């Protein structure tokens, strides 16, 4: 199998050729960096991921986590790479120097995270949750809370979780029953049960800090009555040292299809009446506070899927180049050839490559928008970049993870029987990536978010901002030699998206709203297909701009980007028209189907 965990060459292409991240150096926040420092950081991340994280992936999957009497032990082989990660200060990379960071863009941070997720997703999940916990406390915490929790979280002395789900609530957060009763000052007694809490208990850090949703006793029912709390496993004293164990107990871990080395915990808070938590942010604004954490996590989940898909593609590519079986197409010779020469295998691989590279561009571009929103001073410009983050987040999360699982399945198909066996890691990639379409808001919820909320945000201005960005790329590409036809195809796809959007929004305002909403998931898929068409057109422009001055060896690389973009726009993107036709037929069978008809 491939020794590469991710295509770092494509990562560099996206960052430097497509997104031109060197323009970041003109902003004061990023002025200490240069292309040289970015390259050094990327190389160091790939080296750590390949040499330390990747060798523990299969071992961790085999041994899994062990729970006994409330204690969870992760695979022993995880501790060394975890320590190496801490030593390198990787978690705080995009944060300020005051918390041990390097003020790097989130775009670069996510590019590095892809390497770690690809090498060992289960291990990196402990770290990704920790960063998000530190970030939300930094955004909403008091100065004391920031010092008490954010600093040790960014240093990985503490680990963090996002603690929402309850047995009776699931995705319906308004039904959360965890109760908070004021003790004194900002300290509350917490009582309740949480389930499916990723990294809720483990032995990698000195303390675990739960960012928890609960309801202050007497506050309204529903989401408007929820508040956010910081609840550590071990109480933190005024001087920053650790005190006694808080009344937080892990009552078990889930035995899952994949991610066996990531502890998914059931937790009980305050069973003995001794669980303490501090309110984070304003009372009754828990959803807003939590979504600051959740939105980063949703893009990060898309990155998790991409990472597994990328590694699955590289493994399948390597296998297809080495596995000899069957004769050359159209030849009478009985000499066996590498299966990569067979038409169906090549089609699978090119589809996998086009989706993987398109998703990488999408996710890193979304993070670039997040960076620009943070550093731009012009209010209108800031709003534009926030609009792009808002509308692309459900695409990053849902579209990328659905595609990623399919890419992993196709990789297994290319390896044949070997892909189905545990000796190869491809089947593990498929099992591990499946959860990405389920947690942090199922993909169905993401589709409802896109269709039911994002399209209407700011009176439709967010959607129009997106269309404007895409059409700007189309206009530029139409003037590039050799790309005018592909620009026209993307323009047609965007126009078709506009038409079906108008159709569905119109139906949603009538008695057929139920039927219109039933198309939310196919609509998100159409939207995502168009987004990838846009990204590939942009990639093609970037590659074409480098061709003339490229050395002979580099030309092959840029040609591969052009070929992949041509394939996606010419062979994959047209698939949207069949999906759109099905929606436009407006067949009402779904409205007439009763529960008994589903038996």
Q: Who's near 212: CB < 8 A, 6+ residues apart?
A: 163, 164, 178, 190, 194, 228, 229, 230, 231, 269, 277
Q: Who's near 187: CB < 8 A, 6+ residues apart?
A: 276, 277, 278
Largest CA distance in the chain: 85
Buried residues in 555-567 as b, exposed as e (16+ CB within 10 A) = eeebebbbebbbb
* Element housing 54 (H / E): none
How many residues are listed for the chain in this entry? 599
DSSP class of residue 254 equals -
DSSP class of residue 210 equals E
In angstroms, the CA 40 to CA 34 distance is: 10
Which structure tokens are listed for 37?
A: 């420092």
Whether the CB-CB separation of 276 and 188 falls below 8 Å is answered with yes
Whether the CB-CB separation of 430 and 485 falls below 8 Å is answered with no
For 94-127, give the secondary structure using H, E and C: CCCHHHCCCCCCHHHHHHHHHHHHHHCHHHHHHH
In angstroms, the CA 405 to CA 430 distance is: 6
Handedness of CA 114, 115, 119, 121 (dihedral sign): negative
End-to-end CA distance of the chain: 45
Q: Indicate which residues carry an active-site annotation.
A: 440
Q: Who's near 75: CB < 8 A, 6+ residues apart?
A: 56, 59, 60, 63, 64, 65, 261
Pick from 517, 522, 514, 486: nearest CA to 593: 514
Q: What is the dihedral angle through the alpha carbons of 128, 131, 133, 136, rounded to the nearest 10 degrees?
A: -130
In angstroms, the CA 384 to CA 552 distance is: 40
In angstroms, the CA 57 to CA 122 distance is: 8
Whether the CB-CB separation of 477 and 483 falls below 8 Å is answered with yes
In angstroms, the CA 119 to CA 5 distance is: 6
Q: Who's near 15: CB < 8 A, 6+ residues apart?
A: 21, 38, 42, 107, 108, 111, 364
* Element housing 485 (H / E): helix 484-508
């Amino acid at each position: 199998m491939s020794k590469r965990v991710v295509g770092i060459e494509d990562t560099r292409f996206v960052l430097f050729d497509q997104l031109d991240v060197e323009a970041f150096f003109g902003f004061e926040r990023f002025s200490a960096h240069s292309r040289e420092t970015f390259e050094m950081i990327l190389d160091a991340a790939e080296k750590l991921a390949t040499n330390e994280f990747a060798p523990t992936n299969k071992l961790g999957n085999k041994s899994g986590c062990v729970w006994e009497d409330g204690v969870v032990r992760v695979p022993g082989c995880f501790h060394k790479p975890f320590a190496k990660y801490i030593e390198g200060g990787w978690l705080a990379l995009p944060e300020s120097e005051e918390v041990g960071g390097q003020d790097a863009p989130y775009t670069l941070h996510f590019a590095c995270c892809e390497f770690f997720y690809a090498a060992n997703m289960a291990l990196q999940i402990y770290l990704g949750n920790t960063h998000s916990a530190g970030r939300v406390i930094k955004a909403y915490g008091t100065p004391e809370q920031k010092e008490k929790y954010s600093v040790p979280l960014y240093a990985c002395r503490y680990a963090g979780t996002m603690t929402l789900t309850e047995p009776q609530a699931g995705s319906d957060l308004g039904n959360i029953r965890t109760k908070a009763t004021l003790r004194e000052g900002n300290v509350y007694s917490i009582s309740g049960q949480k389930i499916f809490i990723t990294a809720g208990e483990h032995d990698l850090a000195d303390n675990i800090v739960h960012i928890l949703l609960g309801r202050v006793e007497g506050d309204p029912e529903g989401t408007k009555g929820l508040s956010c709390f910081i609840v550590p496993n071990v109480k933190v004293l005024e001087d920053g040292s650790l005190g006694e164990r808080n009344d937080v107990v892990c009552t078990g871990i889930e035995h899952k299809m994949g991610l066996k080395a990531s502890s998914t915990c059931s937790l009980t808070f305050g069973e003995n009446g001794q669980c303490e938590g501090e309110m984070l942010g304003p009372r009754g604004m828990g959803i807003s506070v939590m979504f600051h954490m959740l939105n980063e996590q949703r893009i990060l989940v898309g990155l998790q899927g991409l990472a597994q898909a990328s590694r699955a593609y590289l493994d399948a590519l390597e296998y297809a180049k080495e596995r000899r079986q069957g004769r050359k197409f159209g030849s009478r010779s009985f000499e066996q050839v590498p299966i990569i020469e067979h038409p169906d295998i090549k089609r699978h691989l090119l589809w996998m490559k086009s989706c993987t590279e398109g998703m990488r561009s999408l996710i890193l571009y979304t993070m670039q928008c997040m960076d620009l929103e943070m550093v731009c001073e012009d209010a209108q410009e800031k709003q534009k970049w926030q609009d792009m983050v808002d509308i692309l987040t459900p695409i990053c999360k849902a579209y990328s993870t659905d595609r990623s699982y399919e890419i992993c399945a196709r990789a297994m198909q290319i390896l044949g029987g070997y892909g189905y066996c545990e000796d190869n890691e491809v089947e593990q990639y498929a099992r591990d990536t499946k959860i990405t379409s389920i947690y942090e808001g199922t993909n169905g919820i993401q589709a409802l978010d896109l269709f039911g909320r994002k399209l209407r945000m700011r009176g439709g201005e967010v959607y129009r901002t997106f269309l404007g960005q895409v059409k700007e790329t189309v206009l530029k590409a139409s003037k590039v030699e050799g790309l005018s036809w592909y620009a026209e195809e993307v323009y047609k796809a965007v126009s078709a998206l506009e038409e079906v959007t108008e159709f569905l929004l119109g139906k949603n305002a009538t008695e057929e709203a139920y039927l219109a909403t039933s198309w939310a998931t196919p609509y998100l898929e159409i939207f995502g297909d168009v987004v990838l068409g846009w990204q590939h057109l942009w990639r093609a422009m970037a590659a074409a701009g480098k061709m003339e001055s490229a050395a002979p060896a580099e030309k092959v690389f840029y040609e591969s980007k052009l070929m992949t973009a041509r394939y996606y726009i010419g062979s994959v993107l047209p698939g949207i028209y069949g999906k759109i036709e099905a929606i436009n037929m407006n067949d009402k069978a779904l409205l007439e189907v009763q529960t008994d008809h589903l038996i």
